């Protein structure tokens, strides 16, 4: 029996391929197809030549010579743009807005700081490139761009920048918005050097963001933000919040699946199928607040898997843990009913924190070098222990993801190195042990492979992915019966793990979470 995926032969009656793990149930019997003889056509000599004489005409003689062909000039850099395609400083677009600096660049365009030469005010120019290949696509894009511009221009909220103008110039689309002076919360978290931000400050931001979401969700029709994350929350003076980048916001139409748009790690499970609704924004807000408190990046590691916030920070209140746990529920109906209800919880928590003397707006203190020298050999303080554990867990996940990517690319040497780093930081990491055992089995090191496979199966936390790699490793070692058992366990933990060739782990996990 041959595997239809990898093409290798298996024993008759096998349930799974011993090499790649593909299910072999209900496969039709193999029947060799006889090869057809290839027929060659012989071209008749002289048939390609036409016997009909060709009448040749000469151009009429004119007194004036014909004009020379036009010169075609090819330029690689558009005028008023740099070699990277950005607008140069000093460029004036729409005869009004003068570019003063470049703020950011993305795959769809760029953002500039500019001056409105008529009103003498500072504005932000959001530029979107024309990357379409047909007239119909371009026409549809222009229509959608104008609809989005009108949607944003109609918003009036103190925590949302206004859109004051929109136009198209040189096949590029431009939005003119209010300039927001401040830093986004992602930058504030990075400036805090791996420590989570103070709880009372984050609660003040959460109250304002919930107020914006309540404003958007209660409009007719409701507007879904769909891209809540730390880089889209700007903090101005006096902790005033501005929610920026409404590029993928859309009107909500019930029971109408759309396209998966958002940021992996922050988007809820239903958004990966395009089924967004107002409570999807509440999940993304909770994921953002969890990141700001714990400094644990949700885009790394297993998605939809948020540990309670007090696992990372013992100083965070139990009320905050309860709010985030409810909003981060994978089932939509178990979250808060609306943003107003979630805001009410944060307002109550804000009052409680203000009356509590143990909370302050300063970040956690860091021990000085002299203090570390004086306390050498003594037990570490609890907050230092939990921050060290937090950093080790994040780094281990990053090393595992790199090792998995190197394995899929066929670079086993680098994959082995990254997985060994992950195991060094997190010795009880079943996925890392199972994948490393699979790599060692492929290299013929069966003794070392068996050692890591025993560690992968020692605990009860091994996932379907871990059992899949264990099965592959046993298949490489010739232990077909053990391999089949591991495949059965993997399929029981995740029924869709063998359903599609080359299906990524993220898609398998999403299908197992969604009804």
Domains of the chain, with CATH numbers? Answer: 92-178 (3.30.200.20), 183-355 (1.10.510.10)
**Is the pLDDT at 232 greater than 50, yes or no?**
yes
Q: What is the pLDDT of residues 82-128, one digit of tens each?
A: 655 788 999 999 999 999 999 887 656 688 999 999 999 999 998 87
Q: Do you know the residue count of the chain?
A: 515
Q: How far apart are CA 492 and CA 481, in angstroms?
A: 17
Work out the percent of the chain whose per-residue pLDDT is above 90: 28
Q: How far apart are CA 293 and CA 306, in angstroms?
A: 12
> pTM (2 decimals)?
0.56
Q: How far apart are CA 91 and CA 97, in angstroms?
A: 8
pLDDT band at 321 (very low <50, low <70, confident <90, very high): very high
For the record, the structure tokens of 235 come out as 């903090």
Q: How far apart are CA 466 and CA 453, in angstroms?
A: 9
Q: Which residue has the higher pLDDT, 468 or 201?
A: 201
- In a 3-state reduction of DSSP, which class is residue 113? strand
**Is the pLDDT at 373 greater than 80, yes or no?**
no
User: What are the backbone angles phi and psi of residue 67, rounded to the nearest 5°?
Assistant: -70, 150
- DSSP-derived secondary structure letter, 81: B
The CA-based angle 509-304-277, given to 5 degrees, is 100
Q: What is the pLDDT of residues 172-215, one digit of tens each?
A: 888 898 998 899 999 999 898 878 999 999 999 999 999 999 99
Contact (Cβ atoms closer than 8 angstroms) between residue 96 and residue 118? yes
Q: What is the pLDDT of residue 151?
A: 74
Q: How far apart are CA 367 and CA 249, in angstroms?
A: 44
- In 3D, which of 228, 220, 226 has the Cα closest to residue 276? 226
**Mean pLDDT across the chain:** 76
Q: What is the pLDDT of residue 471?
A: 78
CB burial string 159-197: b at 16+ within 10 A, e below = bbbebbbbeeeeebbbbbbeeeebebbbebbeeeeebbb
- Cβ burial, residue 75 (10 Å; 0-12/13-18/19+): exposed
Q: Which residue has the higher pLDDT, 52 or 332?
A: 332
For the record, the structure tokens of 333 come out as 């109906």
Q: What is the pLDDT of residue 40?
A: 59
User: What are the backbone angles phi and psi of residue 166, rounded to the nearest 5°?
Assistant: -155, 145
Between 278-294 and 339-355, two packed helices, what is the crossing angle to 10 degrees?
Answer: 30
The CA-based angle 183-184-188, given to 5 degrees, is 80
Number of helices (H), then strands (E), in the chain:
15, 11
Q: Which residue has the higher pLDDT, 341 or 505?
A: 341
For the record, the structure tokens of 171 come out as 């096949």
User: What are the backbone angles phi and psi of residue 481, rounded to the nearest 5°?
Assistant: -65, -45
Which helix (H) or strand (E) is 461 found in, with range?
A: none
Q: How far apart are CA 264 and CA 261, in angstroms?
A: 9
pLDDT band at 268 (very low <50, low <70, confident <90, very high): very high
- In 3D, which of 150, 145, 154 has the Cα closest to residue 173? 145
Q: How far apart are CA 294 and CA 369, in angstroms?
A: 24
CB burial string 360-383: b at 16+ within 10 A, e below = eeeeeeeeeeeeeeeeeeeeeeee
First to last CA, the chain: 35
Q: What is the pLDDT of residue 509?
A: 56
Q: What is the pLDDT of residue 241?
A: 95
CA 165 to chain centre: 30
**Is the pLDDT at 477 greater than 90, yes or no?**
no
Query: Phi-psi category of 161—alpha, beta or left, where left has phi over 0 and alpha has psi -120 to 50?
Result: beta
Mean pLDDT across the stretch 211-222? 92
Question: In terms of DSSP bridges, do strands 241-243 and 223-224 run parallel, antiparallel, or are they unpaired?
Answer: unpaired
Q: What is the pLDDT of residues 395-433, one digit of tens each?
A: 777 788 788 878 877 788 888 888 888 888 888 788 788
**Is the pLDDT at 368 greater than 60, yes or no?**
no
User: What are the backbone angles phi and psi of residue 232, rounded to the nearest 5°?
Assistant: -100, 5
- In 3D, which of 4, 28, 34 has the Cα closest to residue 16? 4
**Is the pLDDT at 501 greater than 50, yes or no?**
no
- DSSP-derived secondary structure letter, 126: E
Q: What is the pLDDT of residue 78?
A: 46
């Amino acid at each position: 029996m041959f595997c239809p995926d990898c093409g290798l032969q298996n024993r008759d009656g096998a349930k799974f391929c011993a090499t790649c793990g593909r299910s072999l149930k209900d496969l039709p019997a193999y029947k060799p197809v006889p090869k057809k003889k290839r027929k060659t056509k012989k071209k008749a000599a002289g048939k390609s030549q036409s016997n009909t004489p060709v009448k040749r005409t000469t151009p009429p003689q004119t007194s004036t010579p014909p004009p020379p062909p036009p010169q075609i000039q090819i330029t690689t850099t558009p005028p008023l743009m740099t070699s990277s395609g950005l607008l140069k400083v000093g460029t004036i677009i729409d005869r009004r807005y003068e570019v003063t600096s470049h703020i950011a660049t993305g795959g769809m365009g760029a953002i500039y700081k500019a001056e409105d030469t008529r009103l003498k005010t500072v504005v932000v120019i959001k530029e979107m490139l024309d990357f379409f290949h047909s007239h119909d696509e371009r026409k549809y894009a222009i229509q959608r761009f104008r609809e989005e511009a009108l949607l944003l221009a109609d918003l009036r909220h103190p925590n949302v920048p206004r859109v004051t103008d929109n136009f198209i110039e040189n096949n590029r689309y431009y939005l003119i918005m209010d300039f927001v002076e401040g830093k986004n919360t992602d930058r504030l978290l990075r400036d805090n050097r791996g420590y989570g931000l103070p709880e009372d400050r984050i609660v003040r931001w959460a109250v304002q963001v919930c107020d914006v979401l309540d404003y958007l969700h209660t409009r007719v029709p409701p507007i879904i933000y769909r891209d809540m994350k730390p880089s889209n929350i700007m903090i101005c003076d006096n902790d005033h919040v501005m929610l920026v980048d409404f590029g993928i916001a859309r009107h909500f139409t019930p029971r109408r699946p759309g396209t998966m748009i958002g940021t992996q790690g922050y988007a809820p499970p239903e958004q990966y199928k395009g089924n967004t609704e107002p409570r999807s924004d509440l999940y993304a807000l909770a994921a953002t607040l969890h990141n700001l408190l714990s400094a644990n990046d949700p885009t790394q590691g297993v998605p939809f898997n948020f540990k309670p916030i007090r696992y990372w920070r013992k100083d965070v209140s139990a009320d905050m843990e309860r709010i985030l746990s409810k909003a981060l529920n994978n089932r939509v109906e178990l979250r808060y009913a609306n943003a107003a209800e979630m805001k009410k919880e944060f307002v109550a928590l804000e009052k409680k924190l203000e009356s509590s003397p143990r909370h302050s707006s300063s970040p956690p203190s860091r021990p000085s070098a002299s203090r570390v020298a004086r306390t050498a050999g003594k037990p570490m303080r609890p907050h230092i222990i939990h921050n060290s554990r937090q950093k080790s867990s994040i780094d281990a996940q990053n090393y595992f993801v790199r090792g998995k990517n190197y394995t899929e690319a066929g670079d086993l040497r680098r994959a082995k190195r990254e997985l060994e780093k992950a195991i060094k930081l997190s010795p009880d990491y079943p996925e890392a042990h199972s994948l490393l055992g699979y790599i060692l089995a492929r290299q013929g090191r069966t003794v070392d492979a068996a050692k890591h496979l025993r560690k992968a199966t020692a605990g009860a936390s091994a996932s379907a992915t871990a059992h899949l790699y264990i099965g592959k490793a046993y298949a490489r070692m010739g232990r077909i019966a053990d391999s089949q058992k591991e495949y059965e366990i993997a399929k029981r933990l995740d029924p869709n793990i063998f359903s599609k060739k080359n299906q990524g782990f993220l898609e398998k996990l999403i299908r197992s979470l969604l009804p």
